[in-house]
Structure 1
Amino acid sequence: MAFHSQKRLVRKYYQALDTSEINTAADTVSAVSQFCSAELLWRGFHPFNEIRGADAVENQFWGPLKSSLTGLQHRIDIFFAGNNIYPETGGVWICSMGHLMGLFDKTWLGIRPTGKLAFLRFAAFHRIENEKIVETAMYFDIPHFMMQAGLQPFPPQTGQHLVQPGPATHDGLLYEEHDPKEGQKTLTLIDQMARDLGQWGSGLPLEAELRRTWHEDMLWWGPEGIGATYTIERYAKQHAGPFRASFSERSKTNHICRIGEGNYGAFFGWPNFVATPTGGFMGMPATGKPGAFRVIDLYRREGEKLKENWIFIDLLHFWKGQGVDILARTTGIAQP
């Protein structure tokens, strides 16, 4: 399938959200209701969490964000589609990734405005039925947004966080039809990688395990608080190794959607897995309390192995479940 109509729908939705900024609330409501089902199920990072209904999504998320980021626009780096491999949540899904960009002119979530350009890094999945978006998972890096406003939500991270670029190959916008065999090849490789990742016990040294599915010069674009890292050796040292050492009792992986097209693939869960911090994590002490990880992962395959990975983790939700309200602690304003 080419997924032309579904891709066109999501692109028009983004365009309507951007141009509705002639900026009345009614325009934004119209943009959401025009393209989304009235019964839309929307999942977002803390403090938004799960929202039901197109009007509620506009009132609770898009309206406040657009009033804070003057001239908000989508800058998309990755865009592709696929049939979900999980039949219980099946159908056609569109995945996109990039930044929401605007001038940070009004307070958002207690974060004080800078009057300067700001980027909210995001990834989104949209399920399409009957020419409407009926389900969305939209994950966004609020801690990185906080850093741009001069706040420091976390201790120093093991990797390095930047305004993250799109694919090195500049071919992430899959607006046209692609060979379905290539998408299946990507999905098969992601499945092998996910099985290795989920076991934490392949019997191989960590770097040897990673070399089964990753290029030696892989790029892992992690969230603020963890950061990005480059090459298998540094990824093992700066994230994968410390992460595995920090947690025990990792649950099985539970994804809602996994799709692939061409050299790109992605998945998300709600949550993806649960694990117990027993060795300290992100510079904070272990609690021994199970914590849920809401994650979107996007991948670029190059040849027979994975080359780039973009990761969105709801660290605000994870830490609030551990008894630490990072957003309230950093801004001084508690969210519902």
Structure 2
Amino acid sequence: MSIITHFYNALKGQGNLNELAMDNMRLNASYPINELHGINEVSLGYWQHLQQALPDIERKPMIEFSSDYQGAQWIAATGYFIGTFSNNLFDIPATHKTLYLRFTELVKLEQGKIADYFIILDFLDVMNQAGVNPLRKSLGHDGLIMPPSTMDGLNPVSSSTESADITEKLVMDMLDELGRFDGKSLESMQLNKFWHNDFMWYGPAGIGTTRGIKGFRKHHQGPFVFSFPDRVVDHKATIIKKGHYVATGGWPHMHGSHLSGGWLGLPPSGKNLELRVMDIWRREGNKLKENWVGIDIIHMCKQMGLDVFEMMKLSNNL
């Protein structure tokens, strides 16, 4: 079992947290959790909320791998917390049915213990499952996210340094290409050089899953880049790589001015927003095949002046 699995077992009382996490560990999580410091704050301000809502909660990663970055060991993972939604979660009404709480995370270890924990929890998808999402329906497909089609996310077939370096270069070159948008045509970004024709983009609730370059442009990229024309990706983001997999992310990972309408059907706020984003990419051959994306959509809306949790309560008379 990974240290993250042991960490959650310890949070449940089945182990010693002090052996797994630094006393001053930092957790950065989706809004409304945000930043917590120390094991006690993490237990009360993060885990207690999840475990109270889902008493039989279980963490089920579909991808998890580690590598060194800037002299420290990092772990990247994505999957679901699964349990019976028995009690409200941040005022999202309990359904008393099985809940799939999607997560994407980057975890930094120091001296063999968890020092920094970054996690995006898709609370908007929880609202979808409870039938109380106040935002419009996703343009892409809503629903459960698929694991890698190769089914090797927990044990990548290739772990060679050479393979990981090839994957990293492909991802970074592709991100450079995304920065070449001319402000007029989506085709100014030549994604066909980097993506398979049937590329799968597993986006968060509010955007949804898209298939192929055409689907990506129609259901996410078009509305996004025209709404945030000056968006900038922070290339200083953490990079974790193993074989055909690469994870990138930061807190924040991107900035952009919300200058036009269209994205999520929301009017432009005119504000410069920071985006908490994490990506996990899978390479197949010389192109990218799949991408699991975590974005803190609710945090973006908060910066626009929209409190999605308050909107949820008002629109559903909660």
TM range (shorter): over 0.9
8 Å contact from structure 1 (residues 254, 273) kept in 2: no
Distance 1:158 1:188 in 2: 30
3-state DSSP of counterpart to 1:128 = strand
CA separation of 1:47/1:14 partners in 2, compared to 1, >3 Å: closer, same or farther? same
Residue in structure 2 matched with residue 49 of structure 1 by the alignment: 34
Q: 1:320 aligns with which of 292, 298, 302?
A: 302
Equivalent residue number for residue 22 of structure 2:
37
Contact 1:255 1:270 (8 Å CA) reproduced: no
Name structure 2 gaps, 5 residues minimum. Answer: none
Which position in structure 1 is the counterpart of 2:276? 294
Q: How many residues are matched?
A: 314
SS of residue matched to 1:271: strand
Question: For 2:224 and 2:68, how far apart are their aligned partners in 1?
Answer: 32
The structure-2 alpha-carbon separation of the partners of 1:254 and 1:184, relative to structure 1 and needing over 3 Å to count, comes to: closer
Matches within 5 A, 1:141-156: 141-156=122-137
Deviates more, 1:212-221 or 1:151-160: 151-160
**Structure 1 residues 308 and 177, CA, compared in 2 at 3 Å: closer, same or farther?**
closer
**C-alpha deviation, 1:139, in angstroms:** 0.9
TM, length-normalised to structure 2: 0.92
Structure 1 gaps of 5+ residues are 1-6, 21-26
Conserved? CA contact 2:24–2:37, under 8 Å: yes
Residue type of the partner of 1:10? Answer: I
- The alignment status of 1:111 with 2:105, answered yes or no, reads no
Name the TM-score, length of structure 1 as normaliser: 0.88
2:143 is the alignment partner of 1:158: no
Provide Cα deviations, 1:138-178, integer angstroms capped at 9, x if missing partner. 11110001111111231122211111111111111127982
Counterparts of 1:225-236 in structure 2, within 5 Å, are 225-236=206-217
Q: 1:221 aligns with which of 190, 195, 202?
A: 202
CA distance in structure 1 between the aligned counterparts of 2:181 and 2:139, rounded to whole angstroms: 20
Alpha-carbon offset, residue 214 of structure 1: 0.6
1:296 Cα deviation from its structure 2 partner: 0.6
> What amino acid sits opposite 2:266 in the alignment?
M
Task: Tell me the secondary structure at the aligned position of residue 145 of structure 2.
Answer: coil
| Partner SS state of residue 165, structure 1 | coil
Q: Secondary structure at the match of 1:160?
A: coil
Q: Could you tell me how far apart the structure 2 residues matched to 1:177 and 1:312 are?
A: 24
- Residue 10 of structure 1 is matched in structure 2 by 4
Q: Where does structure 1 differ by over 3 angstroms across 4 or more consecutive aligned residues?
A: 14-17, 30-34, 201-205
Task: Provide the rounded CA distance (Å) in 1 between the counterparts of 2:273 and 2:266.
Answer: 14
CA contact (8 A) 2:62 2:147 kept: yes
1:265 partnered with 2:246:
yes
Cα–Cα, structure 1 residues 245 and 159, in superposed 2: closer, same or farther, change >3 Å? same
Residues 1-336 of structure 1: pairs in structure 2 closer than 5 A:
8-17=2-11, 20=12, 27=13, 32-84=17-69, 87=70, 90-174=71-155, 178-201=159-182, 206=187, 209-280=190-261, 281-332=263-314
The SS at the match of 2:56 is strand
Moved more, 179-188 or 32-41: 32-41
* Superposition RMSD in Å: 2.2
Letter in 1 for 2:53: S
What's the CA shift for 1:256?
Answer: 3.4
Whether the 8 Å contact between 1:147 and 1:153 is mirrored in structure 2 is: no
Deviation by residue 1:265-320 (Cα, 9 ceiling, x = unmatched): 11111111211112212101111111111101111110101000011111111111
Structure 1: distance between partners of 2:292 and 2:66: 17
Please tell me whether the aligned partners of residues 78 and 97 of structure 1 are also in contact (alpha carbons under 8 angstroms): yes
Deviation of 1:252 (Å): 4.5
AA aligned to 1:36 is: A
